[in-house]
């Protein structure tokens, strides 16, 4: 247990407890070198692994590296020991927006200000292919200047995780804020469902209570499905018209973020200077690990290595898949050497070895030409790699047979986990057993 005054990794002095949940707790901390205040989220690795929640942790890491914006809590670095994972994040000391809301409705100008900042953050997330999926006042912090900061990306999704129908299918979120199409279980567009949640939030800010509420959960879902709610008398006509467009139960006709930003109620009070500041979101300089020849993976790749996040069924049925992925805690040269040994044993020739990409070709002609396999290696940390093995030519059934009978068994000693399967090795974030703890930085992710 981390106690006040404890020095973490020789770098951060742990301060007071800010909050606590089932798998994690958050402490205020101070950077001993710079004196800067930070918030450190401390995750119990054993509990997370037992609960099969490592996918959520990996998702948070990858997403927070993608969405660096003034109205989103910034992730500075991630560290790990044998038993804990540490998120070092921006310290936001103004409290939660939820505490303001529970005291009653906010003034229209204050509500508009928070709503503009929320829409700016959500629009930025969507531009990076990220859907939050759990937008609510409890997940918004306020800094000392009263600016909104979005946090908690544990339920977020990326554009690459859509099914063949182009939609998301995981039912998640908080019931009162969730969009009707999510409840209907027929698939949904994560960006459009986020917009619905923003509408519920705007209503709550202005009214002081939820638009859809009932002691019977099924009745509340019925109201959400029909978009059945009433406006308080004090809602201005312009904001009523905007909310009717946002809380449209039909996602196809629901207003877009672009149109929200053009709406008269939203634009009220915007001068040219403010508009210019809002439009220009500069990417902060990368302070974490720079790219290596094996680090050019996107956030989907990072998530896919997590054994708890089953990705089978995406894009193709499992029986038709032409590629597989696995994570390994071995070094890139070790992985390459292993693949070369397998190729030699199978009397296949290595055609190319360059920047983490290995091209292997069969010496015999198959049913549909020569079987060719590409193996590409991506570095996530110096001690954790993602490997994608993919058929680039030849017969798919021949490739699958070779993978199942020869290649997969031969790789067992270097594989931590195959995509969508339980881990073969006990630890993902502490592969070097001789070290008591090992700090790692999350590499730059690009989609």
Give me the active site residues, please.
Answer: 134
How is residue 182 written in tokens? 């999510």
Residue 277 has φ and ψ, to the nearest 5°, of -65, -45
Strand order in the sheet with 384-393: 348-354, 357-366, 369-381, 384-393, 323-328, 417-418
Residue 363: Cβ-neighbour burial (10 angstroms; 0-12, 13-18, 19+): exposed
Task: Give CA angle at 84 (81, 88), nearest 5°.
Answer: 90
Query: Do the annotations mark residue 391 as ligand-binding?
Result: no
C-alpha radius of gyration, the chain, whole number: 24
The closest of 308, 339, 434 to 55, measured between CA atoms, is 308
Q: Within 13 Å of residue 149, how many CA atoms lie on the same side as its CB?
A: 22
Answer yes or no: are the C-beta atoms of 417 and 307 closer than 8 Å: yes
Short-list 120, 101, 66, CA closest to 302:
66
Residue set of the binding site for ATP? 50
């Amino acid at each position: 247990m981390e106690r006040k005054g404890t020095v973490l990794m020789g770098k951060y002095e742990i301060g007071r407890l800010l909050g606590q949940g089932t798998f994690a707790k958050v402490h205020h901390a101070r950077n001993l070198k710079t004196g800067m205040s930070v918030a450190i989220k401390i995750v119990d690795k054993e509990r997370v692994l037992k609960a099969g929640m490592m996918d959520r942790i990996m998702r948070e890491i990858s997403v927070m590296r993608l969405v660096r914006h003034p109205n989103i809590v910034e992730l500075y670095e991630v560290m790990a020991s044998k038993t804990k994972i540490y998120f070092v994040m921006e310290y936001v000391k103004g409290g939660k927006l939820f505490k303001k809301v529970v005291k009653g409705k906010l003034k229209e100008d204050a509500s508009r200000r928070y709503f503009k900042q929320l829409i700016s953050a959500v629009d930025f997330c969507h531009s990076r292919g990220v859907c939050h999926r759990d937008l609510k006042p409890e997940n918004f912090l306020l800094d000392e200047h009263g600016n909104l900061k979005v946090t908690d990306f544990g339920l977020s999704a990326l554009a690459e995780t859509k099914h063949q129908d182009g939609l998301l299918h995981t039912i998640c979120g908080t019931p009162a804020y969730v969009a009707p199409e999510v409840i209907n279980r027929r698939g949904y567009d994560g960006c459009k469902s986020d917009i619905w949640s923003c509408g519920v939030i705007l209503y709550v800010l202005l009214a002081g209570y939820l638009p859809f509420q009932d002691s019977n959960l099924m009745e509340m879902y019925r109201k959400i499905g029909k978009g059945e709610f009433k406006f308080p008398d004090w809602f201005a006509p312009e904001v009523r018209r905007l909310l009717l467009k946002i809380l449209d139960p039909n996602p196809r006709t629901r207003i877009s973020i672009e149109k929200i930003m053009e709406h008269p109620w939203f634009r009220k009070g915007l001068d040219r200077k403010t508009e210019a500041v809002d439009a220009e979101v500069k990417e902060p300089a990368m302070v974490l690990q720079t790219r290596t020849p094996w680090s050019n993976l996107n956030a989907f790749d990072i998530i896919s290595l997590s054994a708890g996040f089953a990705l089978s069924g995406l894009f193709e049925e499992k029986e038709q898949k032409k590629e597989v992925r696995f994570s390994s805690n071995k070094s890139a040269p070790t992985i390459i050497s292993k693949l070369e040994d397998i190729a030699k044993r199978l009397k296949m020739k290595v055609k190319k070895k360059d920047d983490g990409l290995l091209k292997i070709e069969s010496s015999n002609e198959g049913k549909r030409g020569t079987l060719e396999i590409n193996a590409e290696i991506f570095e996530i940390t110096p001690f954790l790699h993602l490997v994608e093995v993919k058929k680039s030519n030849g017969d798919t059934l021949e490739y699958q047979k070779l993978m199942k009978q020869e290649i997969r068994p031969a790789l067992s000693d270097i594989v931590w986990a195959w995509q969508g399967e339980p881990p073969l090795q006990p630890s993902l974030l502490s592969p070097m057993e001789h070290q008591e703890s090992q700090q790692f930085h999350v590499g730059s992710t690009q989609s």
